């Protein structure tokens, strides 16, 4: 069944010929200016789209978001910034909005100028008013090397929340995620929306890593049209979390060359921040990732990843417990039969690693994927 955008939103997706014949352009607009929030990459090479959107979303209000894919428009100097501003201004003019009410995200290869002649042609012909409501078309239009489009939805009282995301490589967000767009018809004040979105992002998009590389273009945006009326804040935040968590797992599962989803849960930490640091050390370890890929029951690699967190001076191996699924592997001695069971478990498509530090009550869960030769091949040939 096709997932539609929440009430108060319309969209248009198309191919502008930025790289090939696949969808590479989408605009989603609200019927009226609405509440908005966004989080963006902290990269020192942040692209023009990030800089423009960070500026425009500061008011807490927006009318639309436009995405161009297949070219990140990053490290392109003053011309790249001018091009991003031109796209925003043109879309705003076509929609009858102010340029400051339009957000933008761009994704793809770094260091190449946009083919603005083709983009201008496409911008001059997209239909106004927008007629589409297909959220799956939005999800497909923002893809780059993704093998599947990523979409999720949840109810929030009388309202709905629908989100899309893209991203399979260059992923360890330091704010939010690759590109994710979330829409709801709930009526919520910008300050309230911003606060709940930041809490949700911290436990979802900021808790995923494919390859430890923070993108130059990470953008997470949420728009609330208000068309469905007010919703209890707790109910809305829970729906936002459910959608964001689903998208987070979809991104990790579709990591470049990935065959398995890895979930790392750390508890018993000094605080939640420490738990996340240790969990990220595990999920980012190439040795852990390759062991999971090969179903190699070498649980010592997890112990190594915990141990290398040298700044965590209160971590003591005598208090640490390590489990794969429900099977404890440390400090108990694992015999040959136990190693066989562990290998069988690791052959599955989902592998959960659970580490208890035995310090206090801090907890965090992060997600990632295995590391295969497919990842190397994809990225060795990415621009050639």
Is there a catalytic annotation at residue 365? no
- Cα dist. 130→27, 34, 113 in Å? 9, 17, 28
* Closest-CA residue to 263 (of 170, 367, 174): 367
Name the helix (H) or strand (E) containing 135: helix 135-141
Query: What is the Cα–Cα distance from 143 to 19, expressed in whole angstroms?
Result: 12
Out of 41, 107, 144, 177, which one is annotated catalytic? 177
Rg (CA), the chain: 22
In contact, 370 and 290? CB cutoff 8 Å: yes
Query: What is the Cα–Cα distance from 148 to 252, expressed in whole angstroms?
Result: 12
In contact, 30 and 15? CB cutoff 8 Å: no
Name the helix (H) or strand (E) containing 10: strand 9-14
* Closest-CA residue to 299 (of 243, 336, 240, 339): 339
CB neighbourhood size of 44 (10 A): 6
Query: What is the Cα–Cα distance from 252 to 255, expressed in whole angstroms?
Result: 5
How would you label 347-368 residue by residue, b for 16+ Cβ within 10 Å and e otherwise?
Answer: eeeebbbbbbbbbeebbbbbbb
CA dihedral defined by 252, 256, 77, 53, rounded to 10 degrees?
A: -20
Please identify every residue annotated as catalytic: 177
């Amino acid at each position: 069944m096709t997932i539609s955008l929440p009430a108060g939103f319309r969209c248009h997706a198309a191919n502008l010929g930025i790289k090939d014949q696949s969808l590479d352009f989408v605009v989603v607009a609200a019927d009226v200016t609405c509440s908005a929030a966004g989080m963006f990459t902290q990269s020192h090479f942040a692209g023009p789209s990030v800089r423009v959107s960070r500026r425009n979303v500061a008011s807490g209000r927006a009318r639309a978001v436009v995405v161009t894919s297949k070219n990140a428009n990053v490290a392109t100097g003053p011309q790249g910034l001018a091009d991003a501003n031109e796209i925003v201004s043109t879309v705003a003019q076509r929609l009858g909005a102010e340029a400051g009410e339009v957000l933008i995200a761009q994704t793809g290869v770094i260091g190449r100028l946009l083919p603005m002649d083709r983009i201008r042609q496409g911008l001059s012909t997209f239909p106004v008013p927008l007629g589409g409501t297909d959220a799956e078309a939005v999800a497909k239009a923002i893809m780059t090397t993704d093998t599947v489009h990523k979409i999720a939805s949840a109810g929030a009282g009388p309202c709905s929340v629908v989100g899309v995301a893209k991203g399979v490589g260059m992923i360890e967000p330091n704010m939010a995620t690759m590109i994710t767009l979330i829409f709801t018809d709930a009526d919520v004040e910008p300050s309230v929306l911003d606060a709940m979105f930041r809490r949700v992002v911290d436990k979802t998009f900021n808790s995923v890593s494919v390859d430890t590389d923070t993108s130059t273009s990470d953008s997470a945006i949420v728009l609330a049209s208000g068309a469905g009326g007010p919703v209890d804040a707790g109910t809305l935040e829970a729906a936002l979390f459910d959608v964001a968590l689903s998208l987070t797992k979809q991104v990790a599962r579709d990591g470049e060359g990935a065959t398995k989803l890895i979930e790392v849960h750390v508890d018993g930490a000094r605080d939640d921040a420490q738990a996340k640091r240790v969990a990220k050390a595990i999920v980012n370890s190439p040795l852990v990732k390759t062991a999971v890929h090969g179903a190699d029951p070498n649980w010592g690699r997890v112990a190594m990843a915990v141990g290398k967190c040298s700044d965590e001076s209160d971590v003591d191996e005598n208090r640490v417990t390590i489990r794969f699924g429900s099977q404890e592997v440390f400090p108990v001695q694992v015999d040959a039969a136990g190693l066989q069971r562990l290998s069988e478990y690791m052959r599955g498509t989902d592998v959960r690693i659970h580490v208890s530090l035995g310090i206090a009550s801090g907890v965090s869960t992060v997600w990632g994927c295995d590391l295969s030769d497919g990842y190397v091949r994809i990225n060795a040939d990415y621009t050639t």
